Amino acid sequence: QVQLVESGGGSVQAGGSLRLSCAASGYSVSDYCMGWFRQAPGKEREGVASMYIDGGHIWYGDSVKGRFTISQDNAKNTLYLQMNSLKPEDTAMYYCAAAGKVACYGGVLNENRFHYWGQGTQVTVSS
């Protein structure tokens, strides 16, 4: 059974950093397209970053490019999202998700292609 469990969210002031983790079980993160999404109150869920390590693919949304870094540790079967220079507009519930490798290609992430989701972790950035 595939399970994804996020952690690492919290409250931070603007300019600060957080590292989110997504521990996977039931499959290997290196075999899937792994993505981070976020959803702010009253807004649609948006793709933040994705990674398909076997294909050498990494993608970032324009709003986080240069500030966020996606990575994974195959030995720990865990996906990470390092978030630096956080802004109040980064405040959202953050979710990790897994999909077949095709989901990692084509630019903006399509959440409908992701079949496995974590429960989310809240990130709050104050000004």
The pLDDT value given to residue 14: 98
Nearest CA among 23, 44, 27, 51 for reference residue 119: 23
The pLDDT value given to residue 2: 87
Q: For each successive 10 residues of the chain (127 residues), what is the average pLDDT?
A: 95 98 92 95 95 86 97 94 98 96 87 95 97
What are 77's two structure tokens? 């079967």
The pLDDT value given to residue 36: 98
The pLDDT value given to residue 107: 77
The pLDDT value given to residue 106: 78
pLDDT digits (tens, 9 = 90+) for 52-74: 987 688 999 999 999 999 999 99
d(CA 103, CA 33) in angstroms, rounded, equals 6
